[in-house]
Structure 1
Amino acid sequence: MPALLIIAWLVRDVRAADGLMPVWEYWSGTADLRDAPRTTTSTTSLVLLLAYAAAAVAALRSASAASVLIVTGVVTFALRLPGVWTIADAPAPEDLRDRALLTTYVALAAGLAMIVVGVAGRRPVPEGAEGPAGPGRGAGVAVFLLLGFQGVLFAAWEIRQPFVYPSELYPAWFIGGEPLTTPLTEGPPGWVAVTHVLMLLVAAVGAVVGAAHARALGLIAGGFVLSSGVVGVARIVHYEMYEQFLDLDIEAQLNMLTSVSSLLVGPVVIIVLARRGVERIPVGGAPGPWGGGGAWGAQQPGYPPPQAAPGQQPPAPGFGPPP
């Protein structure tokens, strides 16, 4: 249902703007805002749409379906929650506000439903079976470094902005309202940015410890990083800022480098996490020092009994190797 609603709003924006290109120009910040029609969506909706499609496939085929549903539900709820109080006062026709508010409530209900279904669908792993796969050791470290780096970058820019933006933008930057104008179905930019930072840091830590939820959360976070890089680089190319790079101040240069970094990091994270995760050790523990499937030689079901050497009696149950 949330995916269908996003598609409906995207179609509405394309029709209102008389084409896909004006919508993209508004999303990327390259349009003339005096003439461009205001859209009701942003790249956030596009990333969520792809996340819903991936979650639907995972729910049918993946052993990690429960964690995928929980992660997708939490992300949906966090990103759509501000619409409850921002849409009512938005400068838009009343019928459009009503539809947007209904969409927000449906998205929140769907997010909660995904969380409930995911929690209810989590079952104990049978003994000897494999648990949900998380990132492998090498992939986990790589994702930790990449997403952690981007999370710190995004957080640093949010901390920096109050010192350079007009004070009138706050607290609307985080909670919405005048004088800020945002797409009707999207949250305030500060709220969205803080949500992205939390996603990046949680996914980074989860990846390095091999948590099963890190794959789903990291993929969604990687999608948001990639979209941020695409939008930022589009502005750089449109305004030919790369030609003036050496003449710009250090802050503008760092801003450009952040966009390029996002464009490079996003696809790498998605490719690394899209690969099949590492196999979990079967429930019961790692092989013990005496060669069994459990601790200290305790045999797991299905393991063959130890073979005695010629001329020796096999060890009695419960005792170690004979002297």
Structure 2
Amino acid sequence: MTLSRGARITGAALAALLALMVAAWIARDLGDTGSAAALWRSWTGGAPGFVAVAQPATTIVEPALLLVYAAVAVAALRSPVAAAALVAAGVLTLGLRLPALWVLTASYMDLQATDAVRTRALYSAFAALALGTGLLVTAAAGRRPAGERQFTRQAPGAEALTPTRPGRGAAVTAFLLLGTSAAVVVAWQARWAWLLGADVWLDLLTGGDRAPVRLLEVPSAWLALTVAALALVAAGCGLARAVLTRPLGAAVAVLLAADGAVGVAHAVRQELWRYLGELPLERHLVTATALFELVGGAVLLAVLLRPGEPVPGGDGAPGGTAPSGYGYPPARAPGYGYPPARPSYGYPPARPAPGYGYPPPDPSSGFGPPPSPPPPASPPPGW
């Protein structure tokens, strides 16, 4: 399936609005911190190095989402996987913005922002959820069969309407890296739940009082499990080489690379390589996990952003039926209301059987046995 022109424009507009909202919050924090370096230190857990009017509202998730939304807005207009890209962005938005509905009403938020800022953040959360739902509705309502063309095959833009799937190598790479990343993330969450206790881990999941978060921050356990769930879905799609593999896998790869960048930046800032022999094993594993997420996310982006292959059996793909363009009659299968297909090369043309509206076959044509003589006439009655 592909998207109609109106659905593409609508999806691009919705993704652009989401990108503008995230960019506005990043600009707000950038103006508050005074420099991009200070804001980066805030995102990666370093010493602020600035005097802020209020605590920054954004985390590393916001620039990752900004990159995803900008890419989806562009892909919605011309990409062959526009519908899948809208679905990926919509699901990601709903998964990451849903906790804001109860986090922003937590008691500890009184110490982080004024009522005006909290109200604005709550309106942004509602708007993001509405726009994310709009992306899913647009992807579902704007679908049409891939064989329906608005252009001829020779016209520019015709091939952009043909859905594509990842190649075999890209699909295998996505399945392995995404599946491994999901398993690693879930294993660490199980470790934190056992180490901190179920009550504290539940606050990490919901953003409770024992695990406070920033104004727009997604609770850490909720973020981890959401990324793991989407990674598992993308890995399953990669195993089936589905169209959804590339956009959903790329979106998850951006989040994985962002989380890995935070861990690697923290390790570099703390100069952990100087104390490798003194660090416990768990600290080594945490740093190795961050490095794996950073490198694995970059590899996934490099693999999944390459052009895909046409879907077999789809329009314009091997095994499919070529679309009819301007000046060519549509191909029709023989059936009720249509004449039978013409014989192929190397076979005599089929002659209609004698009947109503057709003359009898010519005996001199040479095809078939000679006609039998007519039977003798019946004697008249009374003989």
Of the candidates 14, 18, 21, which is equivalent to residue 30 of structure 2? 14
Which residue in the other structure is 1:185 paired with?
216
1:189-204 to structure 2, matched below 5 A, reads: 189-204=220-235
1:131 Cα deviation (Å)?
Answer: 4.7
1:84-119 deviation per Cα after TM superposition (whole angstroms, max 9, x unaligned): 111022232111100100000000000011110111
1:315 Cα deviation (Å)?
Answer: 8.8
Which residue in the other structure is 2:42 paired with?
26
Which residue in the other structure is 1:115 paired with?
136
Q: Give the helix-richer structure, 1 or 2.
A: 1
1:173-252 to structure 2, matched below 5 A, reads: 173-252=204-283
Q: Which amino acid aligns with 1:103?
A: S
SS of 1:170's equivalent in the other structure is helix
C-alpha contact 1:83 1:185 (8 A) present in aligned 2: yes
Partners of 1:68 and 1:306 lie apart in 2 by 43
Which residue in the other structure is 1:144 paired with?
175
Structure 1 portions without partners, runs of 5+ = 294-299, 318-323
SS of 1:248's equivalent in the other structure is coil
Q: Label 1:314 to 1:250 Cα distance change in 2 as closer, same or farther (>3 A).
A: farther
Q: Which amino acid aligns with 2:147?
A: P
Partners of 2:188 and 2:50 lie apart in 1 by 27
Q: Label 1:127 to 1:69 Cα distance change in 2 as closer, same or farther (>3 A).
A: closer
Partners of 1:109 and 1:186 lie apart in 2 by 19
Q: Label 1:287 to 1:315 Cα distance change in 2 as closer, same or farther (>3 A).
A: farther
TM, length-normalised to structure 1: 0.86
Greater shift after overlay, 226-235 or 34-43? Answer: 34-43
Count of paired positions:
304
Of the candidates 287, 290, 312, which is equivalent to residue 281 of structure 1? 312
Query: Cα RMSD (Å) of the superposition?
Result: 2.9
Which residue in the other structure is 2:194 paired with?
163
Q: Is 1:262 the equivalent of 2:278?
A: no
| Structure ID, larger Rg | 2
1:44 Cα deviation (Å)?
Answer: 0.9
1:217-258 deviation per Cα after TM superposition (whole angstroms, max 9, x unaligned): 001001011111111110110001122223222211111111
Structure 2 portions without partners, runs of 5+ = 1-16, 150-158, 323-329, 333-341, 352-383
TM, length-normalised to structure 2: 0.73
Which residue in the other structure is 1:104 paired with?
125
Of the candidates 81, 86, 101, which is equivalent to residue 98 of structure 2? 81
1:282 Cα deviation (Å)?
Answer: 3.2
Partners of 1:120 and 1:162 lie apart in 2 by 41
Partners of 2:225 and 2:349 lie apart in 1 by 61
Which residue in the other structure is 1:296 paired with?
none
Q: Label 1:314 to 1:138 Cα distance change in 2 as closer, same or farther (>3 A).
A: farther
C-alpha contact 1:79 1:187 (8 A) present in aligned 2: yes
Which residue in the other structure is 1:320 paired with?
none
